[in-house]
Amino acid sequence: MQQFTDEQGVQWDVKINAYTAQRVRETCDPQFLFDDDPKQLTSLRLARDPILFCQVLYVLTEKQRKERGVETEEDFCEHLTGDTIDQALEAFIAAWLNFTRKRDREVIAAVVEKTEQMEQKARQAAIEKINDPTLEKHLLAEMQANIDREVDRVLTQSESATATPASSESTPAS
């Protein structure tokens, strides 16, 4: 059985079967486990949408919640944040693979693994880019240019607002 622990130390089992999958489709995710397109795998969609993922967990843990007296979605979800959601996602992926038919399991597992590797590389590349000293220099130069343009704009408006119009005495009458 796949499990995760919420912020209060309560351990939850994550099990997917035909009934729970149907309940998820009916209540919060009509595309749940329709994994025809590798770019739209259920695990990827849920990893990118933690709110939907918590709703899915709420449905998947229905029997346990009732036994424990956790009645509302708010009561359940208020103890799911960052690290607990990550742990729950790992448990969910394992439960999903257990539910998947054997003929599809290896392919889906490979797609999930490759996606996780690529996302890690993308995060690392982003961190390297953010920490690159030339980025800070470029941003500071850009900020200074924006400040200079704004000051010039304000000064130009101020000069035109304070300029005195030509005197009517100097304008010849017709």
Q: What is the 3-state secondary structure (H, E, C) of the chain?
A: CEEEECCCCCEEEECCCHHHHHHHHHHCCCCCCCCCCHHHCHHHHHHHCHHHHHHHHHHHCHHHHHHHCCCCHHHHHCCCCHHHHHHHHHHHHHHHHHHCCHHHHHHHHHHHHHHHHHHHHHHHHHHHHHHCHHHHHHHHHHHHHHHHHHHHHHHHHHHHHHCCCCCHHHCCCC
Q: Residue 146 domain-assigned?
A: yes
Considering the domain architecture, whether residues 67 and 139 belong to the same structural domain is answered as no
Q: Are residues 29 and 79 in the same domain?
A: yes
Same domain flag for 7 and 72: yes
Indicate whether 92 and 19 sit together in one domain.
Answer: yes
In a domain, 167, yes or no: no
Query: Do 82 and 120 have their domain in common?
Result: no
Question: Residue 150 falls within a domain, yes or no?
Answer: yes
pLDDT tens digits for 105-134?
898 888 889 988 998 999 999 999 989 989
- 55-112 pLDDT per residue, tens: 999 999 999 999 999 989 999 999 999 999 999 999 999 999 999 989 888 988 888 8
Close Cβ partners of 68 (under 8 Å, ≥ 6 residues apart): 10
* Shared-domain flag, residues 10 and 70: yes
The answer to whether residues 16 and 79 belong to one domain is yes
Q: Which phi and psi (to 5°) does residue 25 adopt?
A: -60, -40
Helix (H) or strand (E) run with residue 114 in it: helix 102-131
Q: Which domain holds residue 14?
A: 2-100
pTM over cut 0.75? no
Question: Is the residue at 151 inside a domain?
Answer: yes
35 and 60: one domain? yes
Question: How many independent structural domains does the chain possess?
Answer: 2
